[in-house]
Amino acid sequence: MTVTPLRRFSRADRTAVAEQGRSLASFLSDDDSDRVRIAASR
């Protein structure tokens, strides 16, 4: 899963988004993957 923020994330925001992204990626892949990449903000 790749997350592209609309603004720059604080460290706390980045951590929270990564945790939620891992959970979502795991769910969507039927526990096959929990990889998350946070792209540069635009």
pTM: predicted TM-score of the whole model, two decimal places: 0.78
Summarised one tens digit per residue, pLDDT across range 5-28 is 999 999 999 999 999 999 999 999
C-alpha–C-alpha distance, residues 37 and 4, integer Å: 9
Query: Environment class of residue 1 by beta-carbon count within 10 Å: exposed (0-12), middle (13-18) or buried (19+)?
Result: middle
Mean pLDDT of 24-35: 94
DSSP-assigned beta bridge partners for residue 2: 37
Kindly list the distances between the CA atom of residue 42 and the CA atoms of 3, 7, 34, in Å, as whole numbers in the listed order.
12, 7, 24
Q: What is the DSSP letter of 17?
A: H
Write out the two tokens for 42.
Answer: 């635009």
